[in-house]
Chain A
């Protein structure tokens, strides 16, 4: 084994085995709600599921709504291709996630929480139930009237979209709702709801324990803190890594690539493909002050080396999307099918290469008119692959 010249700093905030939730919660409960919300807002923590909404603001907005009951939901419907970090967090440090939920519940005034767990992770239920039993005991000891249940999904990617998730919990097809209204005022059962990603809740525990200042020692402006990344594909070291936000794709590839990396898919099938020539200028983080392109991500980093055909990669993504589209709105339902049919026709020579431009226009329409993030984001991978690897798409 040769030692690498460059290695990104490994962070150990999420997975370290601190098990002092009761003390941390007690300490936080002694502070005013306003103080804790300010701490959360000042930390700059943004949603780690991928969308990046400021967590403190979400809690604040929901706390301000005068309606009851209110709900706290942990979104564990991790379905983005290439993402598996939430399962790891729920397996190794579920108590931190629950502590985050309890803190949120206290602030917004909620008595009922849920973990929406994807059906693919059903095997986790017994250990989570055991964890919940301990958690409810702590809630009793701290005198907080808050209970958390598990709600299982049944194999539908779209239910990771928050409003589709509510529909699913309400016993309906997982079809996203129009926004506004937003969950902060109209979520599960049309009641005010905070819905946070598993990792976001675990980070809120870190902030409660160490404070916003410590959290901001990591990361860069507008993308503070660390993030858990799921690394897969053509890499000698696939797995789960907590890294600082703001890194360039080049630094990531130097650390995780196999020496022959051709492209990296950042953010899963709904994210962007970064080709080699853009590695240095692309950074991982939320839109903001980063130079070059900043790529938000739920943490999925899929690495492709030069043995891979980008046509096959795109074909696989589109097959995924056309199956997982809920079918509710036409741009997404028909759009995904036509994109898949279209690239196959171009590859077989049944359509001219210029047909790809028509398909790119179709993705523009989908970005504008699809009802939810699924249909809108198909354009991300489609355009970044077709524009950078056009020669691989045509016959």
Chain B
């Protein structure tokens, strides 16, 4: 991916090459492309002079730094206790049903990925999920369909 290589170069200039800047650089790549390709990891290693194994080791530690391709919109459904008690599985089924994919998969048009995540900190408004960085709470199966429809529209408009 040439694009990621270019991006990494720009980021290295913007952030500098100190080890403390590694996480922000990794985050910026994920923010743009939703995942870190092997090429991107090698390029970051080259630019920052950090061994590639360390870059990969750091990236793979964090659940939000994906190292396999994801959709444009990554959905993370909270599966921790209160969300689980308040109907998380129904939310998941509604998502799977609407998008015609299973948990962990990405739609063929590369638009959506469904994942689970640990406590999002919205237990008083459970169940909750993230779509990229946006939070949705007090979900119902119907509400989920509305939310995803608006993302689809947004993508179609682009």
Binding site for B on A (CB under 8 A): 78-84, 87, 118-123, 151-157, 168-174, 189, 230-234, 238-240, 265, 269, 302, 308, 312-313, 316-317, 319-320, 323-324, 326
Contact = CB atoms under 8 A, between A and B. Distances in A.
Interface in B104-150: 117-126, 130, 133-135
Nearest to B48: A171
B21 A155 contact: no
Interface of B: 18-24, 26-27, 50, 54, 57-58, 61-65, 79-82, 84-85, 117-126, 130, 133-135
A170 B19 contact: yes
Given A123-B133, A171-B21, A171-B23, A316 B84 contact: yes
Contact of A79 (B20, B62, B119, B130): B119
A87 B121 contact: yes
A152 B27 contact: yes
B61 A174 contact: yes
B123 A82 contact: yes
Given A123-B135, A173-B57, A316-B84, A155 B63 contact: yes
A153 B27 CA distance: 9
Contacts of A81: 80-82, 118-119, 123
Contacts of B122: 84
B21 A120 contact: no
Contact of B118 (A157, A173, A230, A302): A157
B97 to A, nearest CB: 24
A169 B21 CA distance: 8
A154 B121 contact: no
Contacts of B130: 120
A238 B124 contact: yes
Given A122-B133, A171-B19, A269-B81, A152 B121 contact: no
Contacts of A240: 124
Contact of A324 (B85, B118, B126, B134): B118
Contact of B62 (A121, A155, A269): A155
B75 to A, nearest CB: 14
Nearest to B121: A84
Contact of A230 (B18, B84, B123, B135): B123
Nearest to A316: B81
A355 to B, nearest CB: 24
B118 A323 contact: yes
B119 A80 contact: yes
Contacts of B120: 120
A308 B19 contact: no
A78 B26 CA distance: 22
Residue with the highest number of chain A CB atoms closer than 10 Å, among B81, B82, B121: B81
A171 B123 contact: no
A312 to B, nearest CB: 8
A326 B125 CA distance: 28
A11 B63 CA distance: 37
Contacts of B126: 232
Contacts of B123: 81-84, 230, 232-233, 238, 302
Given A155-B65, A173-B61, 10 more contacts: A82-B82, A119-B27, A154-B63, A155-B118, A157-B119, A170-B19, A173-B58, A233-B81, A239-B124, A320-B118
8 contacts: A84-B123, A119-B27, A172-B19, A173-B57, A232-B123, A234-B85, A269-B80, A320-B81
A169 B62 CA distance: 13
Contacts of A169: 20, 23
A240 B123 CA distance: 11
B124 A154 contact: no
Residue with the highest number of chain B CB atoms closer than 10 Å, among A155, A174, A230, A233: A155
A316 B64 CA distance: 21
A232 to B, nearest CB: 4
Contacts of B61: 156, 173-174, 326
A312 B89 CA distance: 14
B29 to A, nearest CB: 12
Nearest to A119: B64
A235 to B, nearest CB: 9
A233 B85 contact: yes
A252 B69 CA distance: 47
Nearest to B84: A316
A155 B20 contact: no
A249 B140 CA distance: 32
B81 A317 contact: yes
Contacts of A308: 85
Contacts of B27: 119, 152, 154
